[in-house]
């Protein structure tokens, strides 16, 4: 059974789930355990090197990710690059979501309010 481990700070949309199932035959979506999600979502900007900080994430992936399983990786740029490279090195497939952004402008009480609406388009491999 092919799975997708979610290393990002959002919930998958229905469209994203359907795309992963159709495009990559993903059958299971795996969220990080809470302690690892906290690590991934709160990467300290003061750290000069992320190697030791990301070790628990790498250890988890070594255990959970099987050859050709996927990891949706989005977050801190440096951490994303490091983990995408690591996933590839252990035989997994790292992906990120691409979106289309539409900006909607409305006048509310004499002020222009802009709202960005993001629509999932596809997953792209690193």
- Total domain count, the chain: 1
With contact defined as beta carbons under 8 Å apart, do 5 and 72 qualify? yes
- Average pLDDT, whole number, for the chain? 96
CA distance 101 to 71: 23
Question: What average pLDDT does the segment 29-45 reach?
Answer: 97
> Which residue matches tokens 């495009």?
23
Model pTM? 0.87
Question: Structural domain of residue 107, as residue ranges?
Answer: 3-125
For the four alpha carbons of 49, 52, 55 and 58, in that order, the dihedral sign comes to positive
Give the Cα separation of 4 and 94 in Å (integer): 9
Q: pLDDT tens-digit profile of 41-99?
A: 999 999 999 999 999 999 999 999 999 999 999 999 999 999 999 999 999 999 999 99
């Amino acid at each position: 059974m092919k799975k997708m481990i979610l290393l990002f700070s959002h919930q998958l949309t229905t469209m994203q789930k359907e795309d992963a199932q159709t495009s990559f035959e993903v059958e299971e979506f795996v969220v990080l355990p809470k302690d690892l999600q906290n690590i991934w979502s709160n990467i300290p900007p003061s750290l000069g090197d992320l190697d030791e900080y990301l070790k628990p994430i790498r250890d988890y992936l070594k255990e959970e990710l099987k050859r050709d399983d996927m990891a949706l990786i989005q977050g801190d740029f440096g951490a994303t690059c490091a983990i995408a490279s690591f996933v590839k090195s252990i035989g997994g497939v790292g992906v990120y979501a691409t979106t289309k952004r539409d900006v909607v402008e409305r006048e509310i009480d004499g002020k222009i309010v802009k709202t960005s609406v993001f629509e999932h388009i596809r997953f792209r491999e690193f």
